[in-house]
Amino acid sequence: MAPAARQPDPEFQALVRSRYAGNPQGMTELGARLLVGRDAPHAPLDGAALIAEAAQQGDAGAWHYLAVLAATGIGRAQSWPDAFSALDRAATLGHTHARRQLAVLGGMQLDAAGVHRWLAPPEVRVLRESPRFVTFAGFLTPSMCAYLIERSAPRLVAAQVNDARGGGLRLDPMRTNTTAVYTLVETDLVLQLVRARIAAAARVAFDTLEPAEVLHYSVGETYKPHVDFFHASLPNFAEEMRTKGQRVKTCLVYLNDDFEGGETEFSRIGVKFRGRVGEALVFENVLPNGTGDMKTVHTGLPPSRGEKWLLSQWMRSKAQRVA
């Protein structure tokens, strides 16, 4: 995402400095809230500036956030070398989660110099052309898949669906699985590297990606037949598309395969897909004219044994606001 044109508000910054003088951890926490507008105004540039200042005062958490900001180019120019450097600094200052990420990335021999290879995904296999379905074997390593499961297990909540009538999200018996949603401040460098690889593989701009989700299905849990695109004929969805764009593509990365059942079924085209560990499936949700393709109706079938884990990444037709 390109740096925004405007600059942080100097009066606001001065007010924050006076309030949090000598408390970089407080400045970091406020900066994170401002980034995504959580119990605070939505002011990503001000949030990024506060986090950068807290980092200079030696706060390990601020350096961890700076790794994400450098990876995404939010509030500053995008830079993978700076992202890795910030993560290393956070780890040096004792940030436990930063150390865990460095261990995962080190095991993959992935550093700033190797990001260009990381963004060149493995060989693509075309399953069908209309609607277009492609897969990438070995898209993520087993260690990265295990890391995402480890991170997400304590964060699972009941999954929701988009409410076509009232707007927003709601619980619905058609979807009984659980999910961990990752806003910007809940991600880390590992997850941002995953998202960048997805964007490259799907050939979309990075800033069109919605927040990533890690999905979990226990035995019997399901997501009944649904589509990922928005129906323009429904008023709330029409407004959603006007402001945020259509969901044009979906990527599913299968994080484990030690379960039975649990396929992703596309009933209208006779496809049942069950990926191996680390395999990615990318499919297009819309027709060439931009309207939703009903042939992409799909079901998250329930596992009959074990637990199913996968990462879901939706992609839009417009750049997304920082969230």
> Across residues 282-300, what is the average pLDDT?
97
158 and 306, same domain (yes or no): yes
Across the chain, mean pLDDT equals 94
Residue 4 has a pLDDT of 47
> Across residues 274-283, what is the average pLDDT?
98
145 and 78, same domain (yes or no): no
Residue 2 has a pLDDT of 44
83 and 141, same domain (yes or no): no
pLDDT at 86 over 90: yes
Flag whether 322 is in a domain.
Answer: no
Assign residue 59 the CATH number of its domain.
Answer: 1.25.40.10
180 and 37, same domain (yes or no): no
45 and 136, same domain (yes or no): no
140 and 237, same domain (yes or no): yes
Q: Which of 68, 101, 134 is the last residue of a domain?
A: 101
93 and 203, same domain (yes or no): no
Q: Which of 53, 69, 101 is the last residue of a domain?
A: 101
> Across residues 71-99, what is the average pLDDT?
98
**Residue 25 CB burial class (10 angstroms; 0-12, 13-18, ≥19):** middle
The predicted model scores a pTM of: 0.94
Flag whether 297 is in a domain.
Answer: yes
Angle of the 189-202 helix axis to the 96-107 helix axis, nearest 10: 50
72 and 221, same domain (yes or no): no
Strand order in the sheet with 298-300: 223-226, 298-300, 264-266, 271-273
48 and 132, same domain (yes or no): no
> Across residues 301-318, what is the average pLDDT?
98
| Angle value at C-alpha 267, between 261 and 273, nearest 5 degrees | 40
Domain total in the chain: 2
Residue 6 has a pLDDT of 64
162 and 92, same domain (yes or no): no
Quick one: DSSP state of residue 209?
A: B
Flag whether 321 is in a domain.
Answer: no
72 and 160, same domain (yes or no): no
Assign residue 236 the CATH number of its domain.
Answer: 2.60.120.620
pLDDT at 187 over 80: yes
Domain that holds residue 68: 10-101
Residue pLDDT, tens place only, 20-34 = 888 999 999 999 999
> Across residues 189-196, what is the average pLDDT?
98
253 and 193, same domain (yes or no): yes
The pair of structure tokens assigned to 310 is 């996968």
Residue 3 has a pLDDT of 43
| Angle value at C-alpha 192, between 186 and 193, nearest 5 degrees | 150
Given the structure tokens 């042939």, which residue do they identify?
Answer: 295
